[in-house]
Amino acid sequence: MLASPPAAASPTTADAASAVPLPSLKATTTQVASGLRRPTGIAAPDDGTGRLFITEKPGTVRVYHPDTGLADTPLIDITSAIDESGNERGLLGIALPADFAESHTVYLAYTAKPDAAVTLGRYRLDENRLEPLLSQPHTEYNNHNGGQLAFGPDGNLYWSIGDGGGSGDPLRAGQRLDTLLGKILRIDVGRACAPLAYCVPEDNPFVDTPGARPEIWLYGLRNPWRFSFDAADGSLWIGDVGQGHWEEIDHLAPGRGGANLGWSCYEGLEKFEGGNCPPGEQYTKPVFTYSPYTGGCSVIGGQVYRGSRYAGLLGGTYIATDYCSSTVWALRPDGRGGYEQAEIGQFPTQVTTIGTTAEGEFYVVNDLPGGLHRVSFSREEPTCRVDRTVRSWGTGTTVDLTVTNTGSTPVDGWTLKFPLAFGQTVISDWNTDLTQLSNTVTATNAAHNATIAPGASVTLGYLASHTGDASPPPRFTLNDDACAIGR
């Protein structure tokens, strides 16, 4: 059974006071460096230097400084230890402890030679030495390695590992507790508990479960390539790459160890055909899903903005993207148990990670051709507004949409795109030519309403069946520009 996650902390008072409607946000990027070799991760040492550390898949860590650019000589070179065979193997993640300025220690996630085991290692810069700490065999398939590393607000290190690869979770790893595959782990790397090179926190959820790996914090994941903690409330955001029907983002309140995110019983909100559904399990729902029919293929989980430069625009807003579509998604808790959502721009093609400076400002790297880009945000008022009128009964709902041109130029020919809630299927429509693929709807103008003058409106609508959720569409784009939401 799918259950909603316990509510994460609501937006702070400052967030609420300065909240700009998400459709009014615009994300843009400026390329600041090139020549990276398949970059995968960004970390910022909080040592006053203003540097960024960037991992490259072949096994190097490069240094970027905004004043001097990308250094030619790598900070770290562990290429001799890295198995880069297959598209998804290599040096995958990086995390810096709070005492980095004193310890000169870096934590790295990578696939290791000779057996491609996914491995967590500690690298000591002052000794140029790599020390493997924990590894998980991953020989059957070369995909779904995970690889995100992040220190949580509790000081422990969290590490994501994919389900072992292949299609449809052939190892049944997502729901198993005897393997680290398909999990997010939590360990204490500040101590050693022999014979381990680390310690398992006593309050990890499966410490006392017979047969379970005690390092497991969360399970039921497919390929949680990127996750992050909100610096303000400690909540955890996860981007979990889907099988082919749904990409998903999960948001968990602090301390939610032991939660089951559903894979492979569920993909997104949908029961996965042929999946592994152990009896009696309760699965935590994602807070956001989208279909590959949006042009996406692989969600890239991002960060909650907690910097200062754009705090008045998007403080407390989570930003994510997709490797193929490059759409920038903005999500924000609405204070009522749901989430505001909008598409607020495009990132460069094939972004692999969204990182921050020590001050919380955003950068992204893209896989090919290997660039580093600074992210900026601005306020641009939408040039369209959509008002919704909903009438629901039993298993049916009718939705009337009024689309208003709030811009200063006429719209001559239009396409309105929006998602439906899971389980809704359009039966008929009016005043538009409407198509539905998965939950993605594309509505184009009819001959008689193709032009919308400034200040004018057109109406359209549809009749749909539903399986319990009759909620109206949560977001719209008109000719690919985000629209404000009216009633």
Question: Would you state the pLDDT for residue 18?
Answer: 54
- SS3 assignment, position 100: helix
Domain ranges of the chain: 2-379, 384-485
Q: Which of 108, 123, 125, 100 is nearest to 48 (CA)?
A: 100
Question: Would you state the pLDDT for residue 3?
Answer: 80
Do residues 112 and 83 make contact, with C-beta atoms less than 8 angstroms apart?
A: yes
User: 2-379 belongs to which homologous superfamily?
Assistant: TolB, C-terminal domain (2.120.10.30)
Same fold, 2-379 and 384-485: no
pLDDT tens figures, 254-311:
999 999 999 999 999 999 999 999 999 999 999 999 999 999 999 999 999 999 999 9
- SS3 assignment, position 402: strand
Question: Would you state the pLDDT for residue 6?
Answer: 64
Query: What's the whole-number mean pLDDT along residues 416-432?
Result: 98
pLDDT tens figures, 22-64:
999 999 999 999 999 999 999 999 999 999 999 999 999 999 9
CA angle 50, 55, 61 (to 5 degrees): 70
Question: Would you state the pLDDT for residue 9?
Answer: 52
Residue 185: DSSP 8-state = E
CA angle 168, 169, 175 (to 5 degrees): 130
pLDDT band per the 50, 70, 90 thresholds, residue 15: low
| CA separation for the pair 267, 275 (Å, rounded) | 9
Q: Is the pLDDT of residue 221 over 50?
A: yes
Q: Is the pLDDT of residue 198 over 60?
A: yes
> 318-322 and 183-187 as β-strands: parallel, antiparallel, unpaired?
unpaired
Question: Would you state the pLDDT for residue 13?
Answer: 42
Question: Would you state the pLDDT for residue 372?
Answer: 98
Query: What's the whole-number mean pLDDT along residues 178-184?
Result: 98
| CA separation for the pair 448, 266 (Å, rounded) | 43
Architecture of domain 384-485: Sandwich (2.60)
Question: Would you state the pLDDT for residue 4?
Answer: 77
Q: Is the pLDDT of residue 395 over 60?
A: yes
Q: What is the CA radius of gyration of the chain?
A: 23
| CA separation for the pair 65, 47 (Å, rounded) | 13
Q: Is 60 left (phi over 0), alpha (psi -120 to 50) or beta?
A: beta
Continuous segment of H or E residues that includes residue 320: strand 318-322
Query: What's the whole-number mean pLDDT along residues 421-435?
Result: 98
Query: What's the whole-number mean pLDDT along residues 315-341?
Result: 96
Q: Is the pLDDT of residue 16 over 50?
A: no
| Global confidence as pTM | 0.97
pLDDT band per the 50, 70, 90 thresholds, residue 2: confident
Mean predicted lDDT score pLDDT of the chain: 96
Query: What's the whole-number mean pLDDT along residues 305-320?
Result: 97
pLDDT above 90 covers a percentage of the chain that reads: 95
